[in-house]
Copies of this chain bind each other. A is one copy, B any other.
Amino acid sequence: MKPAAVPASTVVFSSLGQRAQPPTIAKLMAMALETPNLLSLAAGFTDNATLPVDFVRAATEAMLGNPGDREFLQYGTNQGRPRLRELLAQRLANNDAEIGLDAAALQRGLFITNGSQQALYLAMQVLAESGDIILVDRPSYFVFLEMLTGLGLRAVSMPVDAHGKIDASALGGLLDGLASKGETQRIKAVYFVSYFSNPSGRSLDVTEKNAIATQLASRGLHIPVVEDAAYRELYYREAPTAPSVLSLPAWAKFPKLYTATLTKPFATGLKVGYGFCTDEAWLKKMLHVKGHHDFGTAHFNQAILEHGLISGNYDRQLALIRPAYERKMRALHETLVREGLLSLGWSWDEPAGGLYLWLKAPDALDTGLDSAFCRECLAAGVLYVPGELCFGDDAPKNRIRLSFGVLNERDLAEAGRRFVGVARRFSP
């Protein structure tokens, strides 16, 4: 039932308010809601079956069963729990052995956020104004791209080669092109998802990371870099070998923000992310603005994750889900292969971590949000994220992100069959 009459709004919005738009994917989700028996390969949700009920219970029992001074139910500090920050600093030092900072410096630079998303938002708020440019990977994380739009910022993609790798000389050309248009001063930061990327599933190798630094540095552009490592710990078998920008000498002179999440690979319902910033002034600005957002992330949740890290349950959970996500990836991947998608001219890489398959359809096939292909998939009961949403600019129409995070293996296989069935009908 609709309400009888909603009065027209008389509210005058700020320019930020005027720019604020529904997420593009909302349209897809609305269509999905009207489709019975839909299998969604769209949502970036994680696997319900392996959510760590027992580990979270162990934490809440330990905390609430022997509450001490109950401080975990009280406000915490804006920057986050000191012990949790200390544990994360150690973890960072273990992942990036060459950071070259002592434990105290690491802990000082670490801050806790409402998911890593908030760290990204704070970074952009304090760095960039409407009209400014952020260099992004290609493809890139579409929620980040929509955030940039919301803040009035322009995403400019860093060029890649035919294998999806950073193309150093094309990047140099892009930077020179911006310079010739007098736009160099508008470039405020560079952003990339470096491990098992959303959406591409691929990781940047050291050569690519160094190439970005070199192209920027050779032009005197030591701009802030934001490395989004949300999926770094979600590898299936082997931890990725490329160090983060925190420990690569090519990035030494750049102000750096490394963002990550504790809860994406654990329990997304707890929503605790973190950032580590090497630049004290930048860090402070982000913290001051966080003070205005919320003056600190939910303290209870931080305490649960602190317990998980100390008890080892956090790493036990990672050990459980890594093979589980690999099995899920294979269930979808192998269905697509078995059903003949390769022979229809589609291609993709098998990822070594993360939650996504990134498909390339034949060049002529439009798989965008408004395409007949997308509508047919919905009609066939399968939903995906159109890849066109994942590009800062010059979006191709023939890319697709499939997420295997949510569905079980049987449903993934069924969704894969439905998908290939539609692809076959669109094959020339």
- A residues with a Cβ closer than 8 A to B are 1, 3, 6, 9-17, 20-23, 45-46, 48, 51-54, 56-57, 60, 64-65, 67, 69-76, 102, 104-105, 114-115, 117-118, 121, 125-129, 132, 143, 146-147, 150-151, 188, 222, 224, 255, 267-272, 279-282, 284-285, 288-289, 291-301, 303
A36 to B42, CA, bound (A): 56
B118 touches A294 (CB 8 A): yes
A281 to B52, CA, bound (A): 39
- Neighbouring B residues of A267 by C-beta, 8 Å: 73-74, 300
A163 to B135, CA, bound (A): 56
B11 touches A73 (CB 8 A): no
A222 touches B46 (CB 8 A): no
- Neighbouring B residues of A224 by C-beta, 8 Å: 11
Further contacts, 8 of them, CB under 8 A, given A52-B73, A118-B293, A147-B292: A9-B280, A9-B282, A23-B288, A45-B74, A114-B114, A114-B294, A150-B289, A298-B298
- Neighbouring B residues of A74 by C-beta, 8 Å: 45-46, 48, 51, 267-269
B20 touches A288 (CB 8 A): yes
A298 touches B301 (CB 8 A): yes
CB distance from A260 to the nearest CB of B (A): 15
- Neighbouring B residues of A13 by C-beta, 8 Å: 126-127, 281-282, 285
- Neighbouring B residues of A279 by C-beta, 8 Å: 9, 11
Question: Given A126-B13, A224-B11, A280-B6 in contact, is the A268-B73 Cβ separation under 8 Å?
Answer: yes
B76 touches A53 (CB 8 A): no
CB distance from A376 to the nearest CB of B (A): 27
- Neighbouring B residues of A268 by C-beta, 8 Å: 73-75, 299
Question: Given A22-B284, A288-B21, A294-B118 in contact, is the A271-B299 Cβ separation under 8 Å?
Answer: yes
Q: List 22 A-B contacts (CB under 8 A).
A: A9-B255, A9-B282, A11-B281, A13-B282, A13-B285, A16-B125, A17-B285, A46-B74, A46-B75, A48-B74, A51-B74, A52-B73, A56-B60, A56-B64, A56-B73, A60-B64, A73-B267, A73-B270, A143-B295, A269-B303, A271-B297, A300-B301
A117 touches B295 (CB 8 A): yes
- Neighbouring B residues of A284 by C-beta, 8 Å: 20, 22
- Neighbouring B residues of A60 by C-beta, 8 Å: 56-57, 60, 64
- Neighbouring B residues of A288 by C-beta, 8 Å: 20-23, 150
- Neighbouring B residues of A51 by C-beta, 8 Å: 70, 73-74
A45 touches B14 (CB 8 A): no
A283 to B299, CA, bound (A): 27
In the complex, what residue of chain B is closest to A14 when comparing beta carbons? B129
Q: Which among B14, B57, B128, B295 is the interface contact of A14 at CB below 8 angstroms?
A: B128
Q: Which among B10, B255, B300 is the interface contact of A255 at CB below 8 angstroms?
A: B10
A300 to B262, CA, bound (A): 15
